[in-house]
């Protein structure tokens, strides 16, 4: 398919300028999610156009590895025709031809092997699903998304999660052998099959959601406040962009929504009082982590003397240049707002290393204080990730993002 194809499809194609609003990757991820679910042809130009340097507009921007991994997986999953699906491409045409997850897209040539408790190897069939059987019973479907660099695993998740949640295959027609099923057996017969998505890439990536943020803020909000099924996340190994580059690996266990179901409207309002702050630290050694924790606790209690403090993560980063802090504020109405920083300043001298804990702590505490002062129920990063679910909900949903950010 060539871009000239669009001339005959202009009335059916949605054209998007990638420099709109923030002009980053979020617009592309949102467009891919909606396109994959609705089979609407999209044509995105100037991809991540606002990420290019001002003095070199032709450099930077375009598809990074995390964007490309999401595009490639969705393209295979929905049998999309594409133009521009390559690294650094600044233009993408995406035309889905299939909108049911796994329909005509599961690799079944190893069915007998799977039924004998076998399983397909990872990396086989990007965008395809492997059926996993135990005692001749289908227990889940698995897919694998590899990245050769530590691109953000969680930006890939943003692109594909709406499709995975809302595209469970339609149930088979009831035949003579099952038309007399009891209500309990009927419910089991039509229940969506659990899915496992294993992704290789980065878990702690500069200017991207971290594993800690996703586990402590994003996933609880999607389940407890939006009403999506719970998602279980398993960290197999960390992937870093700071220090020595390392490729990580994470699995997500998801139960999609039943076929034909809709996400109810939701309202996120009435944040409630600050109740607890969760402090998560990853650093090279016990001394550096203790320095950050002690400074953070002192500053937190100065600002919020009555707040409870917990420490869900205190972990070694295995490299002197890997230092990360996440603060999550939890309220009496169970909202969670997070601010974090994967320290990305130069650490060349002993003095740089000595100064880093205070610099890290001061910035994250200040940003959390600013976030809480706005009065919203979600932080600014969480608000961006809720847009697609507001679009997919059945009716108008509303999120109190605080002063100047209500949507």
In terms of average pLDDT, the best of 8-12, 135-139, 290-294 is 290-294
Q: What is the 3-state secondary structure (H, E, C) of 202-255?
A: ECECCCCCCHHHHHHHHHHHHHHCCCCCCCEEEEEECCECCCCCECEEEEEEEC
Q: How far apart are CA 143 and CA 167, in angstroms?
A: 15
Residues 6 or more apart from 265 whose CB is under 8 A from it?
Answer: 393, 394, 395, 396, 397
Per residue in 112-167, pLDDT (tens digit) is 333 333 333 444 456 678 999 999 899 999 999 999 999 999 999 999 999 999 88
Going along 241-397, which residue ranges are E strands?
A: 248-254, 263-264, 267-268, 274-283, 308-316, 324-331, 336-342, 393-394
Q: Is the pLDDT of residue 271 over 50?
A: yes
Q: How far apart are CA 104 and CA 122, in angstroms?
A: 20
SS3 content of the chain, % helix, strand, coil (to 5): 35, 25, 45
Q: Is the pLDDT of residue 204 over 90?
A: yes
Q: Any idea how long the chain is?
A: 407
Q: How far is CA 385 from CA 61, 208, 224, in A?
A: 21, 12, 15
The pLDDT of residue 246: 96
- Of 3-12, 302-311, 370-379, 387-396, where does mean pLDDT reach its minimum? 3-12
The pLDDT of residue 4: 55
Structure tokens at 404: 């100047």
Which letter does DSSP use for residue 360 in this model? H
C-beta separation of 41 from 9 below 8 A: yes
For tokens 């320095």, what's the residue?
Answer: 291
Q: How far apart are CA 106 and CA 350, in angstroms?
A: 54
The pLDDT of residue 128: 79
Q: How far apart are CA 20 and CA 27, in angstroms?
A: 8
How many other C-beta atoms lie within 10 A of the C-beta of residue 372?
Answer: 20
- Average pLDDT rounded to a whole number, residues 97-102: 64
- Of 77-86, 167-176, 256-265, where does mean pLDDT reach its minimum? 167-176
Structure tokens at 155: 């930006």
The pLDDT of residue 262: 86
Q: Is the pLDDT of residue 107 over 60?
A: no
Which letter does DSSP use for residue 9 in this model? S
- Average pLDDT rounded to a whole number, residues 89-113: 62
For tokens 């309202």, what's the residue?
Answer: 267
- Average pLDDT rounded to a whole number, residues 330-348: 96
Q: How far is CA 270 from CA 256, 274, 334, 377, 394, in A?
A: 29, 12, 10, 7, 22
The pLDDT of residue 110: 34
CB burial class (10 A; 0-12, 13-18, 19+) of residue 338? buried
Q: Which residues pair with 314 in a beta bridge?
A: 281
- Higher confidence at residue 287 or residue 54? 287
Q: How far apart are CA 237 and CA 214, in angstroms?
A: 15
């Amino acid at each position: 398919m060539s871009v000239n194809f669009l001339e005959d499809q202009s009335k059916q194609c949605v054209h998007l300028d990638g420099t709109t609003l923030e002009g980053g990757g979020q617009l592309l991820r949102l467009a891919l999610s909606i396109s994959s679910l609705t089979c609407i042809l999209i044509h995105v130009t100037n991809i991540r156009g606002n990420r290019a340097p001002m003095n070199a507009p032709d450099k930077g921007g375009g598809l990074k590895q995390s964007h490309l991994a999401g595009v490639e997986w969705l393209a295979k999953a929905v049998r999309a025709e594409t133009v521009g699906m390559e690294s650094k491409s600044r233009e993408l045409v995406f035309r889905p031809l299939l909108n049911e997850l796994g329909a005509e897209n599961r690799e079944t040539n190893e069915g007998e092997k799977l039924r004998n408790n076998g399983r397909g190897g990872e990396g086989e069939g990007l965008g395809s699903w492997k059926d996993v059987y135990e005692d001749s019973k289908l227990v889940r479907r698995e897919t694998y998304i590899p990245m050769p660099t530590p691109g953000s695993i969680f930006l890939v998740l943003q692109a594909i999660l709406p499709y995975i949640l809302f595209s469970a295959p339609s149930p088979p027609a009831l035949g003579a052998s099952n038309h007399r099923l009891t209500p309990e057996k009927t419910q089991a017969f039509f229940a969506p099959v659990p899915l496992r998505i294993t992704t290789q890439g980065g878990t702690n990536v500069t200017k991207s959601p971290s594993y800690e943020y996703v586990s402590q803020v994003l996933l609880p909000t999607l389940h407890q406040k939006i009403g999506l099924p719970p998602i279980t996340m398993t960290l197999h190994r960390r992937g870093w962009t700071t220090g020595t580059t390392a490729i990580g690996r994470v699995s997500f266990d998801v139960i999609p929504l039943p076929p034909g179901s809709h996400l109810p409207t939701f309202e996120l309002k009435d944040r409630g009082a600050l109740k607890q702050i969760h402090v998560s630290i990853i650093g090279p050694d016990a001394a550096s982590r203790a320095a950050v924790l002690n400074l953070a606790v002192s500053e937190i209690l100065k600002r919020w003397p009555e707040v409870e403090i917990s420490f869900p993560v205190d972990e070694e980063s295995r490299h002197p240049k890997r230092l990360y802090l996440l603060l999550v504020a939890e309220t009496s109405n169970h909202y969670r707002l997070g601010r974090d920083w994967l320290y990305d300043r130069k650490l060349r001298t002993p003095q740089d290393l000595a100064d880093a804990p205070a610099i890290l702590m001061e910035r994250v505490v200040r940003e959390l204080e600013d976030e809480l002062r706005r009065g919203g129920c979600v932080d600014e990063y969480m608000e961006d990730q809720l847009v697609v679910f507001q679009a997919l909900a059945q009716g108008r949903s509303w999120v109190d993002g605080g002063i100047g950010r209500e949507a």
